[in-house]
Amino acid sequence: MKVFVPNQSGGGETRVALVPVVVKKLASATVEVLVESSAGVMSSHSDDAYRAAGAQMVGGDGWAQADIVLVVHAPTAELARQMRGGAVLAGMLAPQRNMELIQALAQQGVAAMALEFLPRITRAQAMDVLSSQANIAGYKAVILAAERCPKIFPMLMTAAGTLQPVKAFVIGAGVAGLQAIATAKRLGALVSAYDVRPAVKEQVQSVGAKFIELPLETAGAQDAGGYAKELTPEQQQKQRELMAKVVIESDVVITTAAIPGKPAPKLIPADVVAKMQLGSVIVDLAAESGGNCELTEPGQIVQKHGVTIIGISNVPATVPFHASQVYANNLANLLKLIVTKEGTVKIDPADEVIAGVLLCQGGQVVHPRLKEMMAHA
C-alpha cells in the first residue's frame, strides 16, 4: 500500500499532513509512505528527516501512484482527477465550498473523507482534526493579542507603581475558547468568558475565567453533537446588546463563535468597536467563515476606531510545527481504522465514524447532507 503526502505549501498553508515521527510509526513492510519533495519544509521538517523516518521522497506523480492521499486542505479538482479509482483522499476538504471537487472525486471513483464531519463520539476523539487545530488556534490567539496590545497581561507591582492586569474577554467556550482562556490566565490577565450554551459554565470556571451570564433565553442552543446551534435573529440582537458592555470594558476580546456549515454570527457591531478603548485588540478566530466582528476583514489585520482587529484566516498555520504534529496523529488514527494488517484498504460504511466522514465512494456521492445540498443547488 502507498500513502502519499503532497506538498501543500502554496496559498499560505504551512502545515503538512504527516510529520516524520508519525511516518516512522506508519512505514512498514506493508505500508510505503511517499512524501512530495519539500512538503514539510514550512513546518520545519526536512526531506532528510522524512527519509530517515522511512519515507520515499517523490514528485507530484504521487497523486497517481497512491492508494491513500492525506491532505491538510482540499486539493484542486485537477489534482484530484490524477487519483486512481478506488483510492482514498482524507483531510479537511471543506465540502460545502468544494462541490466541484467532490463531484470530480466521485467521477474518479475515489473514496473521499472529510474529517470536519467526524461525529462527536468518544471513539472519534483521537481523529478530531477540528479540535486539535482549534486547541492550537486558541493558544496562538492570545499570543497574537499580547503582541499587539499596548498593555502587558499580568499585574505588576513595582517601585514605579502598580500596573493593572489586562481584561480579556473570550466569546465562545469550545475547544479554542477554553484554550484561549487558559492561556490568557497563565499570562496573568483577568479573564471572563461567555457562551450561548449554559452547560459550559463549569468548564469556563475550571480554567480560571469568570462566566458571564446574560439574561437571554437559550434553551436548545446546543445540538446533539455538542455544537452550538444558530440563534434566531431576535436572540442574536439581544445577545449583541447584552454583550456590548463587557466588550467595551475589555482590553482584549477573542471571538470563537461558529456554526458548522454557516456564516459566523455577527456578535460585535461596528458601533461597539467604536466605543472600545484606544489600543484594544480583537482576535476573530471565526474570520474564515466571515468573522464575529462586523469590522473583521478576513485574512487581514486592520485598525478601526483605534482598535486592532486580527482576522487571520488560518491561525493554526502560524504554529505549523505543532499544528502538523497533532494533525498527523489524527490522520494516523484514521488509518488504523481503514488499513488492515495486510496493508489493504477497508472502508466500512456501517461504521459510525466512517459513515460520518465518507463523502463519496464507488462513483457516487453517499453523504446525506451533501446529497441534499446538491439536490438544492
Q: What is the pLDDT along the chain (377 residues), one digit of tens a residue?
A: 999 999 999 878 999 999 999 999 999 889 999 999 999 999 999 999 999 999 999 999 999 999 999 999 999 999 999 999 999 999 999 998 899 999 999 999 999 999 999 999 999 999 999 999 999 999 999 999 999 999 999 999 999 999 999 999 999 999 999 999 999 999 999 999 999 888 899 999 999 999 998 877 655 555 555 555 667 777 778 888 889 999 999 999 999 998 877 899 999 999 999 999 999 999 999 999 999 999 999 999 999 999 999 999 999 999 999 999 999 999 999 999 999 989 999 999 999 999 999 999 999 999 998 888 877 76
Query: What are the strands, taking DSSP E only, across the chain?
Result: 2-5, 32-36, 56-58, 68-73, 88-92, 111-114, 156-158, 161-163, 167-171, 190-194, 210-211, 252-255, 281-284, 301-304, 307-310, 358-361, 364-365
At residue 71, the pLDDT reads 98
Write down which residue in 296, 313, 330 finishes a domain: 313
131 flagged as catalytic: yes
At residue 197, the pLDDT reads 87
Q: Are 274 and 353 part of one and the same domain?
A: no
For residue 132, being part of any structural domain is answered with no
Q: Are 300 and 327 part of one and the same domain?
A: no
At residue 228, the pLDDT reads 58
At residue 233, the pLDDT reads 79
Q: Are 7 and 121 part of one and the same domain?
A: yes
Q: Are 15 and 119 part of one and the same domain?
A: yes
Q: What is the CATH number of the domain that holds 169?
A: 3.40.50.720
At residue 371, the pLDDT reads 86
At residue 215, the pLDDT reads 78
Q: Are 40 and 148 part of one and the same domain?
A: no
At residue 260, the pLDDT reads 76
Query: Given 227, 240, 277, 313, which residue is catalytic?
Result: 227
For residue 146, being part of any structural domain is answered with yes
Domain that holds residue 253: 137-313
At residue 220, the pLDDT reads 53
327 flagged as catalytic: no
Compute how many other C-beta atoms are within 10 angstroms of the C-beta atom of residue 343.
14
Q: Are 57 and 72 part of one and the same domain?
A: yes
Q: Are 201 and 268 part of one and the same domain?
A: yes
120 flagged as catalytic: yes
Q: How far apart are CA 377 and CA 326, in angstroms?
A: 35
For residue 330, being part of any structural domain is answered with yes
Residue 102: which H helix or E strand, with range? helix 99-108
Q: Is 110 helix (H, G, I), strand (E, B) or coil?
A: coil
Cell of 231: 440563534
Query: Given 125, 205, 300, 303, which residue is catalytic?
Result: 125
Query: Given 51, 81, 120, 197, which residue is catalytic?
Result: 120
For residue 277, being part of any structural domain is answered with yes
Q: Are 24 and 98 part of one and the same domain?
A: yes
Q: Are 89 and 148 part of one and the same domain?
A: no
Q: Are 304 and 213 part of one and the same domain?
A: yes
Is the sign of the CA dihedral 163, 256, 299, 269 positive or negative? negative
Query: Given 8, 9, 82, 131, which residue is catalytic?
Result: 131
Q: Are 200 and 278 part of one and the same domain?
A: yes
Number of domains in the chain: 2
At residue 217, the pLDDT reads 64
Write down which residue in 291, 313, 335 finishes a domain: 313
Write down which residue in 266, 282, 313 finishes a domain: 313
Asked if 166 and 192 count as a contact pair (C-beta separation under 8 A), the reply is no
Q: How far apart are CA 104 and CA 33, in angstroms?
A: 25
Query: Given 9, 15, 50, 128, which residue is catalytic?
Result: 128
Q: How far apart are CA 118 and CA 136, in angstroms?
A: 19
Q: How far is CA 205 from the centre of its chain?
A: 24
Q: Are 110 and 19 part of one and the same domain?
A: yes
For residue 22, being part of any structural domain is answered with yes
